[in-house]
Amino acid sequence: MDLRHLGRTGLRVSRLGLGTLTWGRDTGEQDAAELLKAFWAAGGSLVDTADVYGDGGAEYLLGRLLGGLVPREDMVIATKAGSVPDPDRRFDASRGHLLSALDASLERLNTDHVDLWQVHAFDPATPLEETLQALEIAVGSGRARYAGVSNFSGWQLAKAATWQLAAQGSRTRLASTQMEYSLLQRGIEREVLPAALDLGIGVLPSSPLGRGVLTGKYRQGAVPPESRGASETLAPFVAPYLDDAASRIVDAVAIAADGLAVTPLQVALAWVRDRPGVAAPIVGARTARQLGEALSVEDLSLPDEIRRALDDVSAPVHRYPDQDWSSL
């Protein structure tokens, strides 16, 4: 698998990442082992997790598999901290919480460092400088090699990156931002993506298959019993992308797939993988078969006319201040 630099850093990652959102909850050790081994065998390196995935179970499971199943040195391990696992989905990006969470992550992952440590979300109750100082401490102590953020809006990302760059050479620049991005969710193109491109921050798209909807499995209102849409836990996660607007985009992806003799999954994944600024979409496959289909996209490049057609059918509506008002 080809490698890409993560933003304007020296860290290189596989241009597809393996997500572990369901590990330790819906994905057990045997299935996780098959996924990780297949990913590594295909040249994949970036594995993304978080301290709250499976209430820590995802990190613990990944830690059990590292070293014994795949070489630790071949993997780029990315994890996140800042989410608080309670019913209100709070975020705590204070220095104390973040650094304590990092130590707990390292213990579960059975490693002395992570390659990429990310703040899971912006915390308006904590001064941003305090949050960023935690990243400095983590990298300075060797517990993290690179640092990034997740779910930051455009202004939050720009403010954080500018603070890091203000003392050039003495602060760790942000390597990445992880955001939901797909043909069904192009909201980051309004402000986040332009900021990332300008500041040299790599984009790691989460849910690049529109929470599974872009695979076409929900066409004509079908909800397969083994799908996320049928899961009590994940059905509310999928539901926003089952409306008429999404259906038109899914149909267009299916038509493109038919014309190319590939699957809708491959078309949707190739589209987001090759967007400007994208380093590596994070794929959350549940089975080795699903992962194999995603990995096969390595050899697929969408023809320009198909890419433009998908751009048009999925184009978000951006008005003021994004429009060019110079002629008015």
Per residue in 190-200, pLDDT (tens digit) is 999 999 999 99
- Above 70 in pLDDT, residue 8? yes
Q: How many Å apart are CA 165 and CA 145, to the nearest integer?
A: 17
**Averaged over 104-124, what is the pLDDT?**
97
The confidence score (pLDDT) of residue 236 equals: 78
Does 89 have pLDDT greater than 90?
no
What integer best gives the mean pLDDT of the chain?
A: 91
Of residues 219 and 168, more confidently modeled: 219
Helices (H), the chain: 29-41, 57-65, 95-109, 128-140, 154-166, 192-199, 235-238, 244-260, 264-273, 288-295, 304-313
Amino acid of residue 157: L
In which band, very low, low, confident or very high, does the pLDDT at 227 lie, cut at 50, 70 and 90? low
Per-residue pLDDT at 229 exceeds 80: no
The pLDDT of 65-89, averaged and rounded, is 89
- Mean pLDDT, rounded, for 85-112: 92
- In 3D space, the residue among 148, 82, 142, 137 whose CA is nearest the CA of residue 111 turns out to be 142
Catalytic residue positions?
Answer: 53
Kindly tell me the burial class for residue 130, based on how many C-beta atoms sit within 10 Å of its own C-beta (0-12, 13-18, 19 or more): middle
CA angle 279, 116, 52 (to 5 degrees): 105
246: left (phi over 0), alpha (psi -120 to 50) or beta: alpha
> How confident is the model at residue 23, as a pLDDT?
94
For residue 280, the one-letter residue type is A
Percentage of the chain with pLDDT > 70?
Answer: 91
- Other CB atoms within 10 A of residue 223 CB: 14
pLDDT score, position 234: 67
- Model confidence pTM above 0.75: yes
Q: Among 21-25, 121-125, 225-229, 242-246, name the one with the lowest average pLDDT.
A: 225-229
Q: Tokens for 43, please give them.
A: 């040249």
Sign of CA dihedral 288, 290, 292, 295: negative
pLDDT tens readout for residues 205-216: 999 999 999 999
SS3 304: helix
The whole-number pLDDT of residue 85 equals 76
Identify the three-state secondary structure at position 244: helix
For 175-195, what is each residue's pLDDT tens digit? 999 999 999 999 999 999 999
Residue 211, Ramachandran bin (φ over 0: left; ψ between -120 and 50: alpha; else beta):
left
pLDDT level of residue 328 (50, 70, 90 thresholds): very low
- Cα 318 to Cα 150, 153, 161, 193: the distances in Å are 23, 16, 25, 14
Whether residue 44 is predicted with pLDDT greater than 70 in this model: the reply is yes
pLDDT digits (tens, 9 = 90+) for 259-296: 999 999 999 999 999 999 999 999 998 888 889 999 99
Question: Given pLDDT bands bounded at 50, 70 and 90, which one contains residue 235?
Answer: confident
The residue count for the chain: 328
Count CA atoms closer than 13 A to 253's CA, side-chain side.
Answer: 29
Interatomic CA distance for residues 271 and 290, integer angstroms? 18
